[in-house]
Each structure stands twice: as C-alpha cells, then as structure tokens.
Structure 1
C-alpha cells in the first residue's frame, strides 16, 4: 500500500469585508444636495409661489416627509436654495484675487466676471426675481447670505482706495452703489435677452456678442470711475 500524499495547507487569504463608503452624515448631505438641485429647477421655473413641494420631492426621488425633515417647510427650503446658489456664485467670483491687481485692471475684471455669472447661471436671476416678489424675506432671514458679500465689498473698497491713491479714480464713489451699477449693466442684458432679440432682430447671446457687451459694461464703469 502506497504512502498517503500529505494534504497541502490552505494558503487562501480570507476576503476582507468591504468597507461601506460614507456614513449617515454623508448620505444625509447627498440627500440634501439632491433636494436642493431639484428645488433650483422647480423654483426657477415656477417661482416661489408656483413651485410645489410634491414636484420637488418627485424630481429629487425622495419622500416628501424626508424633505420636510431636512428643511422644515417650503420657506426653509427656499432659503436653503438661495444660500446654496449665492455660495456657489460667490465661490466663482474670486474677487479676493483682485486686491493686488492694478486698480483699473482689477475693476475691469470684476465687471466682466460678474457679467459671466449671469450667463452661466440664468436660473439665478429667476430665483432673484421670485425673491424680490416675496419682499426679500428669505434672504433677510439668513445672515450668512449677507456675510458672503462682505469680502466683495472689501475688495471693491480696496480697489477704489488704491485707485484714488494712484490719482486715477474719483474720491466720491460708494462701493455699494458701484456694485449695484455693475450688476445692472450686466444682468439686465441677460435677463431681457429674448425681448431685445425680438426688437432688434439680432442674436445677443453668442460668445462674441456677450464678450462685446461685457467689455462695453467694463468701459462704462472705468470711465465713470476715472477722474476728469
């Protein structure tokens, strides 16, 4: 009888259980974001009064009760939408980088970058129109939105101050008035593009035409700022 062949040792490495990605907090954050993104579409298309929470929940693929759990009510949801949108836009303006730039060049870049925001985020203007019809109460209820604009005003004030010191800019410019003028010169063009195109029978949102408009707005601001 032949000797038995020794049994080979099992060298298979046990499979390590897969670690679950994320956790409850990450899951909740994803849910909040999906609801906010769905809400942006609903509110920008129908306004605050016309938007329906049922439709938002359907768009986001969540239960309506879960939506209320995260945001409380329709007003709380609209505040979150505005805050999210303002934060997204302010993060793209990058105005702090302009504080060390030549004042005239910095102001020109500020005008053009502000104008690009309206082109890139057309839903922002529709949200603002709805909020103005609501008396601005949602923006007023969240101090974080106002705080987002403190750095921007600081940048404008610094550009104006350095322009005055260089003998280039006038010394009677209010930074808030200036920024409102910048947004007026750029946002009005985008917001009224359809009626302007119908009246003047020109395509106004081509890349070349938008660049021309933003340079035009920047020229107007710079000439206003300069000393006589």
Structure 2
C-alpha cells in the first residue's frame, strides 16, 4: 500500500525561499510568535541539513526569515538551542504522521507492510530528515542528548511496532522471537540507507536508482524483506 506523504522541497540548485511574518490589512507586521517560530524552524531545518551545525549561519537564517538574530536568540537562546529544536521537530513530524496510519485497523501483516512502506516513502521524500540525522550522528548524538522530549517523541513508534508484532504473534503469522526495538531498527536501517547512500551506491555499481521503476522495485524489496523476516 503506497502511502502519500508531504514532501519537503530540496533547496539545492534553486534560490532560497524567503518567509515573512504575518501582515495586517494595512501592510504592517502583526505580532505572531507561533508563525515566526515556525518560519524560523522551517528555514533552519534546510540550513542545518545542508550545511550542518558548524556551517549554518544564524545571520543567513535571520535574512531568509526577514527577522533578526536577536529575535532568533530570544526564541531559541542560542544556535545550538535552535539546532536541538530543529531535530525535535523533525522527529515530531514523522511520528505525528505515523500516528495517522491507523495500523490497529489492519491485519498484522498488512499493518507491517503499511508501516514499512510509509517509512520508505517518508524518508525518500524528506532527504533533509536523513541529512539531519546523519549530521547529528557525526556529533555522536551530543545535541540530541540535550533534548528533554526526544525520548517521549519516539515512544509511540516503538509501541506501534510492538502492537503490530504482538498481534501477529498472537494470530500465529509472526514468529515469537523478535525484539520490537530491533525490528524498528531494521526497518529504519533499510529505508535510511536507500536515501543516505544512493549517490555513492549508484555511482559505484552503475545503477539508476532514481527512476520510478527502480524506486518501486526497491520499495517492494524492502517491504518483502521485513515481512519475511518476521513471518512464521
């Protein structure tokens, strides 16, 4: 089942998008902190994903949001504070969409197929998420460790995987010796690699990985691999 997900637009090779604060009928800016923060996070996500923590510049983020460094520091305290919020929002977004899959309404094997297919589609359609995770792994998780919410944000996906898996075991369709966290890791690893390594893999092995037929074949391969791994 091919889930439709909202894709982030890549920023490479095109002029950067500028976002502005809300304006009233007379053209004056209105005080809209939530929108201002959302605009800053949107632009900062692309900047940190593209350039990493060290390469991203608060001046550039301020210019693209037509705000000020002072305002960014007011909302997020520091460059590192903004970076941590970007990471939190990246995880919050995928977990929020996962919650809307309604896996509990599907038979266990179909639910697992939907979850794996969604993970593949989301990561393929949101390369900024992949780059952010790669950047933070280069920092060995140092900044994500500062988050007070990251653990809670990721509890639902483990619960969803566990629920699907345990229903499958109870129905006699899944084998009873798989750890749900390990299963989640395997799903993530297969889908993550498909995005993070596609350029080098394509170059080394002379494979055209971006055409629709190749994408569809790879998606089906990953879904089948996971399902056969847990099938009884």
Aligned residue number for residue 7 of structure 1: none
Q: Separation in 1 of the partners of 2:212 and 2:69? A: 41
- Structure number with bigger Rg: 1
8 Å Cα contact 1:95/1:110 also seen in 2 = no
Aligned partner of 2:86 among 81, 84, 109:
81
Q: Deviation digits for residues 52-76 of structure 1, max 9, x if unmatched? A: 1112112222111111111100111
Q: How does 1:41-190 map to 2 (within 5 A)?
A: 41-94=46-99, 97-190=102-195
- In structure 2, runs of 5+ residues without a counterpart are 1-24
Check 1:183–1:95 CA distance in 2 against 1; reply closer, same or farther (3 A cut): farther
Structure 2 length-normalised TM: 0.83
Aligned residue number for residue 9 of structure 1: none
8 Å Cα contact 1:186/1:217 also seen in 2 = yes
Q: Separation in 1 of the partners of 2:109 and 2:46? A: 37
Query: What secondary structure does 2:210 align onto?
Result: coil
Aligned residue number for residue 197 of structure 2: 192
Q: Let me know the Cα RMSD of the aligned residues.
A: 2.1
Check 1:95–1:161 CA distance in 2 against 1; reply closer, same or farther (3 A cut): farther
Runs of 4+ in 1 over 4 A off after TM superposition: 18-23
What is the number of residues matched between the two proteins? Answer: 208
Deviation at 1:115, TM superposition (A): 0.7
Aligned residue number for residue 219 of structure 1: 224
Deviation at 1:23, TM superposition (A): 6.2
- In structure 1, runs of 5+ residues without a counterpart are 1-17
Check 1:59–1:201 CA distance in 2 against 1; reply closer, same or farther (3 A cut): same
Aligned partner of 1:29 among 22, 28, 34:
34
8 Å Cα contact 2:191/2:222 also seen in 1 = yes
Check 1:115–1:196 CA distance in 2 against 1; reply closer, same or farther (3 A cut): same
Q: Separation in 2 of the partners of 1:22 and 1:150? A: 39
